[in-house]
Structure 1
Amino acid sequence: MRILVLGGNRFLSRAVAAEAARRGHQVVCANRGQSGAIPPGVTTLRWDRSEPAPDELTDGEPYDAVVDVSRTPSHVRRALAAVPDAHWVFVSTVSVYADDTDPAGPGVGRLREAIDDDVDPTASVDAYGGMKVACERLVLDAVPGAAVVRPGLIVGPGDPSGRFAYWARRSEATGDVLAPGRPDDVVQVIDVRDLAAWIVTLAEERTGGVFDAVGEPLPIGDLLALCLPHARLVWVDHAFLEAEGVEPWSGPDSIPLWLPRPAYDGMLAHDAGPAIAAGLELRPVADTTHDTRGWLEADPAARIGGITLEREADLLDRWSALTP
């Protein structure tokens, strides 16, 4: 197959390009050339999608499939106009769902209002999710039988967010480790390599439909026990963390993977069953932890989010003083 990957030089899109090349496909990556190196064995061409598609994008043989991860409606419109006849796999997000308390998936979960114009996606979750809704509709309207996948939290080696890396870095820790919220709070993660492999399979098999691209939901207590098998997890109350100014989800003063409850009960609890039935294969969380730690050790510049060890120790002391 000849596969066009729009991107190909960062995290998920790079993993898709690498997997497609590994399977022997002819892979072309179109990007601005500003966000990292493409994997070996693929062809690259420069395209800033704020501009019309270059002639070299379509001068050669036709593409059998396109994989796009864009969050910008105008970029998706230009790509659809340039390559209208291929099978499309569009990577969206669970942030398209309007109600974070509800884990309902495609066809059931209520979506955010579509934002058809290009706006700053960092302005709010509404902006990011709303533009992704618009991008989904553009693809589904233009390409009969297209696939749309809505990932939750993508993790693994190369993760630029540093969210899961926070826990992978601690994987050999002993002693007390602060665990946020309640051990039965449900979370889910998906390894970037598993998601990339499935996306290539969707392209190969010309699978259509809308799927939540997620790992199996499991209690955060189980997930952290897999990530930190030698540590003693000290569970610290949601209200205490909020009162102490700890940020959820990501960032320098956050505890990654932690989300306030019940406001986010549904965000990391979607049903992985339909995606698994469509060919998604998931590796154990312990394997993702091991490989992510290996990547961190091999790349000292790798980003790790979350609070410092000193901040964690202070929080544990404060929590201990409140709990007999």
Structure 2
Amino acid sequence: MRLLVLGGTAMLGRAVAERAVADCHVVTCLARGVAGEAPEGVTWVRGDRDAGDGLDGVLDGARWDAVVDVSRQPGQVRRAVAALEPVADRFVFVSTGNVYAVHSGLATDESVPLLPPLDGDVMEDMSTYGEAKVACEAAVLDGFGPERTLVARAGLIGGPGDWSGRSGWWPWRFAHPVGAGGAVLAPDDPDLPMSLVDVRDLAAWLVRCAGDGTAGVFDAVGEPNTLGGLLSSAREVAGHTGPVVTAAATWLSEHGVQEWMGEDSLPLWVSDPEWRGFGAHTGAAARAAGLTSRPVTDTLRDAAAYEERRGPDDPRRCGLSDDTERRLLSLLGH
């Protein structure tokens, strides 16, 4: 297969390119190179997709069996679809569960209503991320048609290269507790639905779908799990035997602890009932189409290893600071 990856230098795009090369496909990556260089074994074409001629380097007489795109900018996707539809057999677009208008339901699937598409070509900030991805999906489906398009609505992606830290912080913290006796602070919400798809498993599935022409719209998520289950796996990976000190959502909020990710956060925790079902999509259709998941402990172990390698140029992007966690544990009597 001749595969064109629009990107290929950041976490998922890079994993797709690496897997495709390992599967003996001929791979070209179009990227600016801001996130790093393309993997070994691919042809790297430098291009800025915000420029009118940004795709010229992959249009010079080339014919592609499939294109994989991870963009969040509708204008970039519209230009790619218009330019590549005549020279590509099919298009694989990586979207997100943020496209859904409702996140309160449990055990849901692809039938949940979508947000309205973003009006315009540019997503200015993450507040319209879901709407932007809806617009991107529509552009691909309109241009290539449903029979030539796969839309993968990814959930929480983790594993090596997880720059956000969401999948790596918990096993890293359990390996480096700062509380007395090895205590670690956690939200008191073990039943919160939460699944984690390994970036390598997702990449392998995308490459396989690109090769065999799988079409449709799929929630590309990990096996159904809970926050409590993920934290138990993180403790297992870290070999943690100290106490886990839990606190209620109201107490954590009152003391400035953020949800999901970011500075002074408890990653993966979502207390807003309107978002409780974000991690509850079953992914049954994607698994029926061949998506498989490795043990979540493997994903967390490799994400933690990535956290251990972080240096001054790649600071940790989420979780509680040592000082904050010590202060909060002290307030809770630990």
- Report the equivalent of 1:43: 43
Q: 1:48 aligns to what SS in structure 2? A: coil
Q: 1:269 aligns to what SS in structure 2? A: coil
- Report the equivalent of 2:320: 307
Of 221, 234, 252 in structure 2, the residue corresponding to residue 227 of structure 1 is 234
Instruction: Report the Cα distance in structure 1 between the residues aligned to 2:267 and 2:202, rounded to whole angstroms.
Output: 21
Instruction: Report the Cα distance in structure 1 between the residues aligned to 2:333 and 2:275, rounded to whole angstroms.
Output: 27
| Stretch deviating more after TM superposition (227-236 or 270-279) | 227-236
1:163 aligns with 2:176: no
Q: Percent identity?
A: 45
After TM superposition, give the deviation of residue 154 of structure 1 in Å: 0.8
1:83 aligns with 2:84: yes
Instruction: Report the Cα distance in structure 2 between the residues aligned to 1:123 and 1:186, rounded to whole angstroms.
Output: 23
Structure 1: runs of 5 or more not aligned: none
Are the counterparts in 1 of residues 99 and 115 from structure 2 also a CA contact under 8 Å?
yes
Are the counterparts in 1 of residues 168 and 306 from structure 2 also a CA contact under 8 Å?
no
1:141 aligns with 2:142: yes
1:213 aligns with 2:217: no
Give CA-to-partner distance per residue, 1:103-144, whole Å, 9 cap, x none: 4331x20111111413444251xx111010011011111112
Are the counterparts in 1 of residues 165 and 307 from structure 2 also a CA contact under 8 Å?
no
In structure 2, give the amino acid aligned to 1:277. Answer: A
Instruction: Report the Cα distance in structure 1 between the residues aligned to 2:166 and 2:125, rounded to whole angstroms.
Output: 17
| Stretch deviating more after TM superposition (59-68 or 115-124) | 115-124
- Report the equivalent of 1:250: 261
1:93 aligns with 2:104: no
After TM superposition, give the deviation of residue 182 of structure 1 in Å: 1.4
Instruction: Report the Cα distance in structure 1 between the residues aligned to 2:331 and 2:308, rounded to whole angstroms.
Output: 32
> What is the TM-score when the length of structure 2 is the normalising length?
0.90
- Report the equivalent of 1:273: 284
- Report the equivalent of 2:331: 318
Are the counterparts in 2 of residues 173 and 228 from structure 1 also a CA contact under 8 Å?
no
> What is the TM-score when the length of structure 1 is the normalising length?
0.93
In structure 2, give the amino acid aligned to 1:311. Answer: T
Instruction: Report the Cα distance in structure 1 between the residues aligned to 2:57 and 2:122, rounded to whole angstroms.
Output: 29
Give CA-to-partner distance per residue, 1:168-212, whole Å, 9 cap, x none: 312435632111131111111111111111110110111000001
- Report the equivalent of 2:250: 239
Q: 1:130 aligns to what SS in structure 2? A: helix
Equivalent pairs counted in the alignment come to 318
1:112 aligns with 2:115: yes
Q: 1:163 aligns to what SS in structure 2? A: coil
Of 156, 170, 185 in structure 1, the residue corresponding to residue 192 of structure 2 is 185
After TM superposition, give the deviation of residue 222 of structure 1 in Å: 1.5
In structure 1, give the amino acid aligned to 2:40. Answer: P
In structure 2, give the amino acid aligned to 1:309. Answer: D
Instruction: Report the Cα distance in structure 2 between the residues aligned to 1:123 and 1:137, rounded to whole angstroms.
Output: 19
Structure 2: runs of 5 or more not aligned: none
- Report the equivalent of 1:260: 271
Instruction: Report the Cα distance in structure 2 between the residues aligned to 1:299 and 1:161, rounded to whole angstroms.
Output: 12
Are the counterparts in 1 of residues 158 and 300 from structure 2 also a CA contact under 8 Å?
no
Q: Assess, with a 3 A threshold, how the Cα gap between structure 1 residues 288 and 171 changes in structure 2: closer, same or farther.
A: farther
- Report the equivalent of 1:291: 302
Are the counterparts in 1 of residues 162 and 306 from structure 2 also a CA contact under 8 Å?
no
- Report the equivalent of 1:282: 293
